[in-house]
Chain A
Amino acid sequence: MKISTLKYSFKQGFINIRRNLLFSLASIGTIIACLFLFGIFYSIVLNMQNEVKTIEDTLTITVFFDEGTGEERIAEIGNELKSIANVDKIDYISADKAWKGYIEDVYNGDTEYVHSIFGDDNPLENASSYEVKLKDIKIQEDTVKSIMAIPDVRKVNSSEGTANSLNSINHLVGYASIGVIVILLFVSLFLISNTITIGISVRKEEIAIMKLIGAKDSFVRTPFLVEGVMIGLIGSVIPIGIIYFMYDAVVNYLTEHFNVVANLINFVSVDTVIKGMTPIALGMGIGIGFLGSFITTYRHLRV
């Protein structure tokens, strides 16, 4: 396409938007609503994913051995654990280290008091273990089975419940948001199509003359495609801006007014949200604008 034609198409595209301002604004408004909701859901999902990741990073499983398992065998078990594909790293916790940790956690490190009760005995003498960090917490169950199959392994403590619950909530929010967004995208598509149809009917005479003079389909269609894309672009830039300016305010409000939230969630930064959201929102906005106008012009503007 020639540059002069491109210029003409852009000029006419903007004129179309101005001519059907009300309908153009309705279309832009719907896309804004749709992508704003997307932005909200995206922020929630991103924060939950971040939370799951944080929990996953701290989650370990503990592997205990049969009573009387010797140091040599324990070292062999360590090697066998490392050979399991989903095992990221292992940390050996000796009986002494376990007891010291217990004193620290339960008696706030008051060794004198503990000594007065237990003397030099170590009640966790048979509680040496490996703390195993997994690469993927989602397949924890299979990994636990593999570990249990290792001879001399007595017990494996895992905490799959927490991670699984978080994952389930995350999926639920994800699916709900996809559902709402898909519905709104269809509404946007319908409104854009309506706007373009009105634009075509307003310029019916001009289009008829164009065709009789010898305009190609692409020449007649391009201004309407520009119109659709511009509507989509404006409709996607605005919610990105709103999310950018609102996100920190909402996070601050939540952490200030709800201590539970502040303690539970480690919010991701606004930059992370915008960086992830921008290409998707722009893609959806422009895509829906293009698709809406393309379908409409294809239906109405055949030479």
Chain B
Amino acid sequence: MIVLDHVTMQYPTGKKALDDVTFHINKGEFVFIVGSSGSGKTTLIKLLLKELNPTQGDITVEGKAYSKLKRKEIPMLRRKIGVVFQDFRLLKDRTVFENVAFAQQVIEKPNKEIRREVPAMLTMVGLADQYKQYPRELSGGEQQRVAIARAVVNRPEIILADEPTGDLDPQNSSEIMQLLEEINRRGTTVVVVTHNREIVDQMQKRVIRLKKGKIVSDVEKGGYKDED
């Protein structure tokens, strides 16, 4: 599903954000990528979304090597990856419904499908009653649910969550992780980049640990503490 093959990312300043990183994530897996700040987590996400190109090595997603990808194929690749951000990145001037529908409008889904699928997605994340509300009227946890609904509404193969609980309290963090686990149970590969020890320990999933751009451990069922 996701293969990183000796990937190195060196910025023009000379700083190596990732150094010869190799790993393989299977379809349907739930994987945490952990590490302190500066470990290369953010660069890894940008590489997976093809916002950046590695200086060495190659990334393959669903059998498609990024190095062979044409520019016009990038949107199609991104449609296979749903992204969830720490700061939710919702459109403030649009309602909950419109924020989720936006993801479908962008990929030019017919309005009929949008009207059918968005309510179903909002029901799944527990926000069916709040479809008319604006992001500012929601709690942090609720906003992250909307962001998750937006990420999954186009049924991507992979969910890439960048510090999804970074701005949330433990209760909301736990609920968001349960939601991601539920999405994973339905067959979607979930990759969570985080430094939240509690949730990593609690969920006992595969943990890839990065330190200064290198993989220092890759544990099948582990916790954050295990790596310290």
Contacts and interface: CB of A to CB of B under 8 A. Distances in A.
A214 B72 CA distance: 11
Interface in A238-281: none
Given A2-B110, A8-B105, A216 B75 contact: yes
A209 interface: yes
Interface stretch (B55-63, B76-84, B132-140, B203-211): B76-84
A interface, over-half SS: helix
B79 A4 contact: no
Nearest to B74: A303
Contacts, number: 54
Contacts of A169: none
Which of A1, A212, A303 is most buried by chain B, counting CB atoms within 10 A of its CB? Answer: A212
A220 B78 CA distance: 15
Contact of B78 (A2, A206, A213): A213
Contacts of B75: 211, 214-217, 303
Q: How large is the interface on B (under 10, 10 to 19, 20 to 34, 35 or more residues)?
A: 20 to 34
B78 A214 contact: yes
B91 A212 contact: no
Interface residues of A, number: 19
A212 B108 contact: no
Given A206-B91, A209-B91, A4 B108 contact: yes
Given A1-B108, A213-B154, 20 more contacts: A2-B110, A4-B109, A4-B111, A209-B91, A209-B102, A211-B75, A211-B78, A212-B83, A213-B78, A213-B79, A213-B102, A213-B103, A213-B150, A214-B76, A215-B107, A217-B72, A217-B75, A219-B106, A303-B71, A303-B74
Interface of A: 1-2, 4-5, 8, 205-206, 208-217, 219, 303
